Amino acid sequence: MQSAALSPQTVDSTLAAVLARPEFAPPPVSPLREMMGRAFSWLRDWLGALLEWLLPTLDPSAAGWTTLGRIVLFALGLVGIWLMVRLARIGFGTARRRSEKRVSVDVTEAGRPLEPGDWELRARAAVDAGRWREAVIALYHAVIGRLAESGAVRPDPAKTPGDYRREVRSDARIGPGLDSFLRQFEPVAFGRHAADADAYARLRDAAAPLGAHG
């Protein structure tokens, strides 16, 4: 026995009930997309009001003005995308810099800045006393001081090792050597690897081509 045909009203109501279920609901609009939509809507309304004020005898809804408005909105959209990319790059750069650590020690003595030779003497004295981490950090400052003497870097207590690495990245003579030294220095200085005689010896060998002698 064949079942009775469903009426169009029954089909419509059944379909509406199915589509009303949560799994068929459209995904929520992201805050960024909603904000950009509001910004474009405001800009469109503002441009329309501006055109009406500047050219009250023209019809802004005419095909020519509609095309011009779309071109302007497209150009402004490209500018907005460029600005968002720039802000994202700035944000990522700031986050990266915050994640890096500075090597904070006293860089003056008796009211004068310490010279590279002073740091080398401190490194040797720390080695003699078995203070390996102190020796490693002093050797780092000796390296930066020697590079500053040659004009390769501009020393600044606020800079991180990563800042100096980026500063000489394009220098084929110094960049690879400093990168090699810092890749060994950072794990020891910041506690990921043990500071001991072997670690210091490797760093001293890496520092020699850069002009520092611990």
User: Which domains, from first to last, does the chain contain?
Assistant: 29-99 (no CATH), 108-210 (1.20.120)
Residue (of 12, 214, 16, 32) closest to 123 by Cα position: 214
Are the C-beta atoms of residues 182 and 117 closer than 8 Å to each other?
no
Q: In this predicted structure, what is the pLDDT of residue 112?
A: 76
- Helix 63-99 and helix 31-54, axial crossing angle in degrees, nearest 10: 140
Band of pLDDT at residue 1, cut at 50, 70 and 90: very low
More confident call, 118 vs 59? 118
Displacement of CA 19 from its chain's centroid (Å): 43
Per residue in 106-129, pLDDT (tens digit) is: 665 656 778 999 999 999 999 999
CA 85-91-96 angle, to 5 degrees, is: 125
State the DSSP string of 99-124. Answer: HS-------EETTEEPPHHHHHHHHH
Question: CA 29 to CA 75: how far, in whole Å?
Answer: 24
pLDDT value at 186 more than 70: yes
| C-beta separation of 73 from 40 below 8 A | yes
Of 42-51, 65-74, 181-190, the poorest mean pLDDT is in 65-74
Which residue type occupies 1?
A: M
β partners of residue 112? 109
Q: Of 211, 214, 195, 192, give the one whose Cα is nearest residue 139.
A: 214
Q: How far apart are CA 182 and CA 140, in angstroms?
A: 8
Q: Rounded to an integer, what distance in angstroms lies between the CA atom of residue 84 and that of residue 86?
A: 5
Apex 203 CA angle, 186 and 118, nearest 5: 95
Residue 195: band (very low, low, confident or very high) from pLDDT cuts 50, 70, 90:
confident
Q: Write the single-letter amino acid at 162.
A: G
Q: Which residue has the higher pLDDT, 195 or 179?
A: 179
Q: Is the pLDDT of residue 55 over 60?
A: no
Cα(201)–Cα(199) distance, rounded to whole angstroms? 5
Q: pLDDT tens digit string along 148-182? A: 999 999 988 888 898 999 999 999 999 999 999 99
pLDDT at 95: 46
